[in-house]
Structures are given as C-alpha cells and as structure tokens.
Amino acid sequence: MEVDEDNRSDFEKEEEEEDDSVSDLLRDRFRLSAISIAESEAKRSGMEISPPIVACIADLAFKYIGQLAKDLELFAHHAGRKSVTMTDVIVSAHRNEHLAASLRSISYR
C-alpha cells in the first residue's frame, strides 16, 4: 500500500472520500426535507417564502444539527456512555423550555 507525503494510505483517502459523499448525501436530503417543510408551513399560513430564504434556513438548520450531534456525543461521553440517550437530547434542549417539555412528554410515554 502506498503512503503519500501526508502519511495517509490510499485506503484512508478512499474511506475519507466515502465519508464525504455520505455526508453530502445526508446534507442534500436534509436540505430537501427542510425546504419541503418550510414551503408547506408557508402555504398553510397563507404566506410566500422566497427560495433563497428557504435555502438559507435549510443550511442553518443543517449546521445546527451538526453542532447538536457533537454536543450529544459529548454529553454521552461525559456520562461514560458510548450511546446517546433521550436524557442527553432533553438536556441539550434546556434553553428552549417548550421544546424540553415536549421532549420530556415524548420520552415518558
């Protein structure tokens, strides 16, 4: 196996490219879902929403979800677990009382 100047094997590079393509696919699917939700909500409310605004909202939401995933991973790691639990999700919503209450009601059903 060849190793180039930055000490990564061809296999490691291919693995990284696969991770990037999966990430791109997830981002695109998330973006399409967010756009669909935004357009549906605008229509339901009798409002119009411009495509650049919808795209911006989708991109911001994707970035937020990425940061949330990192936070959840840190919460689980801090608790000595390898898996994220519903409690971690509820703790992550502590700044939004309504969301935290909704998550608690879902988790205790």
Q: What does each C-alpha distance from 25 to 57, 69, 89 come to in angstroms?
A: 18, 17, 24
pLDDT > 70 in the chain, percent: 89
| 38: amino acid identity, one letter | A
Residue-wise pLDDT tens digits, 59-76: 999 999 899 999 999 999
Q: Name the pLDDT band for 109 (thresholds 50, 70, 90).
A: low
pTM assigned to the model: 0.67
pLDDT, greater one: 96 or 20 = 96
pLDDT at 18: 75
Identify the CATH number of the domain defined by range 10-108: 1.10.20.10
Mean pLDDT for 16-23 is 80
Using alpha carbons, select from 81, 103, 107 the residue that is nearest to residue 93: 103
Question: Domain-by-domain residue ranges, the chain?
Answer: 10-108
Tokens for 45, please give them.
């409310």
Using alpha carbons, select from 96, 97, 67, 69 the residue that is nearest to residue 84: 69
Using alpha carbons, select from 67, 8, 4, 61 the residue that is nearest to residue 36: 61
